[in-house]
Amino acid sequence: MENKLIISLSPHIHNGDSVEKNMYGVLIALAPAFIVSLIYFGLGALVVTVTSVIACLFFEWAIGKYIMKSEVSTICDGSAAITGVLLAFNLPSNLPIWIILLGALFAIGVSKMSFGGLGNNPFNPALAGRVFLLLSFPVQMTTWPKIGQLTSYIDAETAATPLSIMKGVIKGAPGFSLDQLPDAFNLFIGNNGGCLGEVSAAALLVGLVYMLMKRIITWHIPGSILLAVTVFSGIMYLVNPQIYVSPLTQLLSGGLMLGAIFMATDYVTSPMTNKGMLIYGTCIGLLTVVIRLFGAYPEGMSFAILIMNAFTPLINTYCKPKRFGEVAKKK
């Protein structure tokens, strides 16, 4: 039998990474936060998450098969499942199923598949779906169930979140005081209201450690976001501690940890170089603090990431890596 030398394009040796491996690694990293959401929200967390994941998988399959006429199915690569989980993690646990379906359709159909599918979308699909729902259904998207109602779903009793309390104090609304905020330990473990995936900073940090150990992400984006939020919120806290909370409270509240660890680090919508990642993360941190303190909405993480998604191509152009073999020009 004649042996033939097969010549192919580089690289010929790789480290075993693949889209599927990294995507399922992210899903494993999200598992602690999902478990905590089940502990605090029970049935509501299960219904919202399962609905969102199934809807995202279905819409990706249906659009790919019947609209894009693709012969290759992408629902098994893990990207649609991650979009479903992250979308669910940005929703309250009492959101009606039909609204979840609309959010999943927008996330997959508009924000992802309309641009050509995985690798082509300029904006994070889950965040785009979340912002679409927030603008379309502001009442349902800002009605937060109290934790501990494990068997309740639509009829769950509601309460204010830490971010809504902070915003009420900043605006001088009656009935709001910083004394109503949970202490740092309760914020850290998740003993407070909010979206499914934002309540427990501890569970999200476990996922961060796992992804860093597996080299799914690097420290540059989450590290720069957390540092920027610490610095800018710390300055405002020193200016007026009567209405602005400490940097630690800002870091542990709302969707900051979820966004910094799992949303801003999306491969497709974040810069490619380390320098670009640091610029990107610092701007997200600054925008988040500005929107939280001076904007109309209590939370600014989603808007900050989407804004910087739009600047990613510009950052990539500015922060190009040095070409192999290039000689630096003498000044």
Cα angle for residues 185, 187, 192 (degrees, 5° grid): 125
Per-residue pLDDT band for 9 (boundaries 50, 70, 90) equals: very low
State the Cα–Cα distance between residues 254 and 260, nearest whole angstrom: 11
State the Cα–Cα distance between residues 263 and 26, nearest whole angstrom: 11
Q: How high is the pLDDT of residue 70?
A: 77
Q: How high is the pLDDT of residue 330?
A: 56
Q: Over the stretch 87-113, which tens digit does the pLDDT of each residue have?
A: 999 999 999 999 999 999 999 999 999
Q: pLDDT at residue 6 above 60? A: no
Average pLDDT over residues 4-31: 71
Region for 325 from its dihedrals, namely left if φ exceeds 0, alpha if ψ lies in -120 to 50, beta otherwise: left
Place of tokens 């609309």: 102
Average pLDDT over residues 41-66: 94
Q: Over the stretch 147-205, which tens digit does the pLDDT of each residue have?
A: 888 877 777 788 889 999 999 999 988 888 999 998 999 999 988 888 998 889 999 99
Per-residue pLDDT band for 12 (boundaries 50, 70, 90) equals: very low
Q: How high is the pLDDT of residue 2?
A: 54
Q: Between the CA of residue 206 and those of 1, 13, 252, what are the distances in Å?
A: 54, 32, 14
